[in-house]
Structure formats: C-alpha cells, structure tokens
Amino acid sequence: MRESQSLPATIETWLVEPMTPDVRKAIDRLARAPSVTRIAVMPDVHLAPGACVGTVAATRSALYPGAVGGDIGCGIATIALGGDLPRHRPTLEAVLADLRGAVPIKRHASVDHAPVLPPDIGTLRDPCCAGDIARTGRVELGTLGRGNHFLELQVDADERAWLMVHSGSRSMGQRIRAAHEAGATRTFATLRMLDAESREGQSYLHDAAWAVRYARANRHAMLTSAAQVIHDRLGLIADWSTLVDVHHNHVREEEHFGERLYIHRKGAAPASHGAPGLIPGHMGGESLHVVGRGEPESLRSSSHGAGRRLARSDARRKVDKRELERLHASCVFDARPAHALREEAPSAYKPLDAVMRAQRRLVKTARRVRAVLCYKGI
C-alpha cells in the first residue's frame, strides 16, 4: 500500500432527489476508507450492502470487492432485429413461452444441455473458484437470474425491433467476491480491502476480469438463444453488427486527472466521450440507447438504469396490483407471480426522464425503445 488516507475523498453528485440519511452515511464511510480519492454518485443511487448501487469510487492502491459487488460484470446488451414485428398478443405470448424454455432462469438441466464456455474466457487463480467453472460455470452460462434481470423484446420510434438483456456473472461472481474477501483486511468503513500491489490484490483483479468476460459471454448466449426463438416464431433476423454490450459492476485501472487510479463501478456504467451505452427504466417501460459525454468529474461514468425508489420489501407492501394490471395491458409478461412482481413495478423506480435530466452532462440520448414483451425471473 503506497499511502494512507488522512482526508475524505472528493464527492461529486448527480442526483434526482436528496440522498436518504442511510445512503449519505454509506457514501461518507466510503469517502473515508483508505486510498479512496474520489467518489461520483449517480442519479440512480440507492442503498445496498458494502457500497451503494450507483457509485463510482477511485482509489490509488486499494481494492474493495464490496465496492464492485458480487454480480461482477453485470451489464446490459442489445441487438437489432430485421423484419416486421407482429403485435398480435397471442403470438407474443407464444414467444414468451418459448423463451422460458430457451433461456432458463436459474440453470440448465445438466452440463450436456448447457452452452460451451468460450475458449478465450481463460481460467481463475483462486483454487476454490477454479473448480466451479467446469460445473457451475457451464450450467449457469446462458441463464437469466432473478431480481431486476430481464430479457425484453422492444421497438423504437421507427418500429424497428430490438432484443435487450440485463444479467451478469450469476453465482460465479458471488463466489469470486466471497473467496477474495475472505483474506482481505477489514476497514472502519466495513469494507474489506486488498492491496492492489500484493499477490492477493492481483489475483482478485485477474478473477474479477474473468467474471466480466463470463458475464459478457452469458449475455451473448442468451441473446443467441432468444434470437433463435424470435426467428423461429416471428421470422425476424438478428443483426449482430448492431450489438452494444456495457457492463456496470467492475474494477479496472484507468487514467483520471493525470494519474492511474483503480475505478470501482457498482451500478454505474462507463461513459467515455462517444462511447455507446444502455440505460433501462422500469419493467415493461422505456429504455434508452445513449452516448457518453466523457465528463471528468463523474470519472467518465453514468447511471446504469433508473434506480430503485422503493426497497423491495416496501414495494411488495405499497404497490397496488392494479398498477401491474395496467402495465400488462401494454406489455406481455407473466403476471402470475403478481406479488413478487410488485418489486419491479414502475412506481418502485425513479422516473427515467428525471434521471436523464440529472445526468445531462454525462450522457445524451440517441434512441428510445419501448418494451412489448418482458421476460423476468422472480
């Protein structure tokens, strides 16, 4: 470790509304953690274990797995589809049924039914995690996961169809975080810390980068399976030249303000000047294709979505089922688990337009798309 932290980090914010006391306290703790020099708080910020979702933390020599989270490499990918999209509801419901078979929520039935891991994905250094690749890494590749992960069929203003998927490294990322935090140093900020120059720190960086590649391969496997379903049912053809894939949970070395820093993004997307990005709103609503503006004070980052306004427990208690019924009238999704779906209802999230106004210096909107079908795991 090259230096100690004597003063809190610089904090820059782009907010829709004032931070709650719990979020403010968590941000302040992170700002006083060793080696943290800058923090950028995105408009979708909300409370989460370790570090808040919607934060970017820059360090000079320390690594904080909790400031990345367990779903390392989680991100969003999209491709355009060629052809006319039918709007006949029974047809879309048949597509949804086919997607349930083609893209499992949790895992494939066996290794024999799972996609093959890409040959360039590499290996893991941590022996506890390396042994999981052959089994867990295979059966979870091409699977969606639960929570706010989704696969959507969307249309833009020109009626062009798009597929979008939000998912990450599944349980592999969680295992990598747990394994590397086990030997890390606990700080007063309740985060566990690794020295980036140490063997342990370098091993974490190596394995976290592996998880990013695995998460990307997971999204691409799902897009491939979903595109086949769409082709078989609707005759639409995936245009892979339009692929955009952006991950929002990672740590990597970047140059900012004239020095090399370790940038931890948790629920925050890179937004370098001219870089394409994707920002979804609530389930079954609008999502945005954006272009980064490269704002230095945000550590060239933006929000990764609209961000939760209600905690999951609060949403299950407060959201009226009629809100989901109205949403179901405009977007096809499986409404049977209605109680659990309340967590993902529109009112559980911040308004997307307000989020975009708050970060107008960070990204600009290039395209709006609207969901006509949403496949979720609850």
The residues that are catalytic are 304
The SS3 assignment for 123 reads coil
Contacts of 131-136 with C-beta under 8 Å, sequence gap 24+, read: 132/172, 132/175, 133/172, 135/111, 136/171, 136/172, 136/175
Instruction: Give the distance from CA 299 to its chain's centroid.
Output: 18
DSSP for residue 56: E
The dihedral formed by the CA atoms of 355, 359, 364 and 367, expressed in degrees to the nearest 10: -10
Q: What are phi and psi of 352, to 5 degrees?
A: -60, -40
Taking a C-beta distance cutoff of 8 angstroms, is the pair 104, 340 a contact? no
The SS3 assignment for 65 reads helix
With 0-12 / 13-18 / 19 or more C-beta atoms within 10 angstroms meaning exposed / middle / buried, residue 145 is buried
Farthest-apart Cα atoms in the chain, separation: 63
Instruction: Give start and end residues of each alpha helix (H) in the chain.
Output: 21-31, 89-102, 127-130, 138-139, 170-181, 199-234, 312-318, 321-330, 338-341, 352-358
Query: What pairing do the DSSP bridges indicate for beta strands 10-13 and 268-270?
Result: unpaired
CA distance linking residue 282 with residue 161, whole number of Å: 19
The residue assigned the tokens 């590649």 is 213
- Which residues have CB under 8 Å from 179's CB, separation 6+? 126, 128, 129, 207
CA distance linking residue 299 with residue 291, whole number of Å: 15
Could you tell me which residues are beta bridge partners of residue 166? Answer: 76, 150
